[in-house]
Amino acid sequence: MKISKRRVLLVILLLLLASQMPFAYRRYKLRQLHAAIQQLNSQRTSPERTRFSEYVGVVHVHSFLGGHSTGTFSEIISAAQANRLNFVIMTEHAEKDFDTAAMTLQGEHGGVLFINGNEVSAANGDRTLVLPRAVTIAAYPEEFKAWGAQELNGVEVYNVFTNSKRINLVVAFFDAVWSKRAYPDLIFAHYLERPDEGLKVWDRALARRNLTAVAGNDAHANVGVSLKDSSGKTLLGVQLDPYEVSFRLVRLHVLIEKNRPLDATSVLEAVRAGHCYIGFDFLGDSSGFAFEVDEKIQGDEIALRDGLRLNIRTPVQSRIVVLKDGAVFMDETGISSKILPITARGVYRVEVYLPQLGAMVAQKPWIISNPIYVY
């Protein structure tokens, strides 16, 4: 039986349309998530801090220096301004013949503080973020080995690139085709994962020493799918990680005493001390989160005594999980504050979730605090 070309083309067209239905549905789910986040942000309360000012920035950013990226300084500055960031910590890949840390952005540009640093690879494969003021952060902790190194101050418990390696690029391409224009950052909600292994490694390390947790944007502006002609000109393409979008996904919120200015020294001292927390701010502004014991804040140590209580506050109602020595100590949903008596020594930290945003992100973290050490 002879089948007409028209019928064959019709079948192909129907198959193509059918293949796009899942992505249309995924876009619909993002629209629902967007509406839920808008409603959530309208419910925010952010009590005034009495002792500290809160500043928001990103860590682990690369430019054209050191390869792996073609991103320009102008693009990075513009993206930081568009996101209203207070600071950006640059971590250029180290080069043998020239000092990329000295050559990258540093100081104030466009009203944003830039701090210069390097991403350094050791002979054993360990990678660290080496910053001024002798701040050294273990990158990619799942692969890190030298936990006994004296110079180590922190751990990059979450990394956008590590998370993104698990993404199917074909799926990501069609997600971008359907949703990038309307929801360029929320697309990542499909792919965000709790960094289970990074947190486990950090919790084990905390049993031996104090280490600050940070999140790495690992921004390169170099991930995408494109079709080029023989001259290298792009005919069709989608960039999945422009700086402006990368800077929205996850941020570091640092707490600096109000009598101090915002500069490289105050930011890096806050990071070293653990006076900071991680916010996945594309799910909602996490500014205003507080985790304290008496006059101590996250990153601090305090001696066990009678009447000691953890005080936790979040900007909106949420699910608050308190972990002690890496194990769940308290898990309560639908609250925006919690006072919790402490009767035992240990390392206490907090994770916050937003189940009201729906199943897509209910089990994905919104806030990861640094610990308070009770000894």
Q: Is the pLDDT of residue 47 over 80?
A: no
> What's residue 229's pLDDT?
52
Question: In the structure encoding, which two tokens stand for residue 367, read together?
Answer: 């806030």
Q: Which residue has the tokens 């998530």?
A: 33
What value does the mean pLDDT take over residues 216-232?
68
Q: Alpha-carbon distance 125 to 153, whole Å?
A: 19
Q: What is the mean pLDDT of the chain?
A: 92
Q: Alpha-carbon distance 26 to 151, whole Å?
A: 45
Q: How confident is the model at residue 10 (pLDDT cuts 50, 70, 90)?
A: confident
Name the burial class of residue 89, with classes exposed (0-12), middle (13-18) and buried (19+) by CB atoms within 10 angstroms of its CB. Answer: buried
What single letter denotes the amino acid at residue 141?
P
What value does the mean pLDDT take over residues 159-163?
94
> What's residue 222's pLDDT?
67
Q: How confident is the model at residue 44 (pLDDT cuts 50, 70, 90)?
A: very high
Q: How confident is the model at residue 16 (pLDDT cuts 50, 70, 90)?
A: confident
Q: How confident is the model at residue 331 (pLDDT cuts 50, 70, 90)?
A: very high
Name the burial class of residue 330, with classes exposed (0-12), middle (13-18) and buried (19+) by CB atoms within 10 angstroms of its CB. Answer: middle
> What's residue 357's pLDDT?
97
Q: Parallel, antiparallel, or unpaired: how do β-strands 296-297 and 367-368 relate?
A: unpaired
Most confident residue range from 47-51, 167-171, 254-258: 254-258
Question: SS3 helix, strand, coil % of the chain, rounded to 5?
Answer: 30, 35, 40
What value does the mean pLDDT take over residues 282-306?
96
Q: Alpha-carbon distance 138 to 122, whole Å?
A: 11
Neighbours of 2 (CB within 10 A): 4
Question: Could you tell me the maximum CA-CA distance found in the chain, to the nearest angstrom?
Answer: 89
Q: What percent of the chain has pLDDT over 70?
A: 94
The DSSP H or E segment spanning 75 is: helix 73-82
What value does the mean pLDDT take over residues 256-276?
97
209 against 50, higher pLDDT: 209
370 against 169, higher pLDDT: 370
Measured CA angle at 316 (ends 374, 324), to 5 deg: 20
Q: Alpha-carbon distance 360 to 54, whole Å?
A: 29
What value does the mean pLDDT take over residues 106-113?
98
What value does the mean pLDDT take over residues 260-269?
98
Domain boundaries, the chain: 40-374
Contacts of 305 (CB under 8 A, 6+ apart): none
Q: Is the pLDDT of residue 2 over 80?
A: no
Question: In the structure encoding, which two tokens stand for residue 90, read together?
Answer: 């640059």
Establish how many alpha carbons lie within 13 A of residue 125's alpha carbon, considering only the half-sphere containing its beta carbon. 6
Instruction: Give the sign of the dihedral formed by CA 267, CA 271, CA 277, CA 283.
Output: positive
317 against 166, higher pLDDT: 317
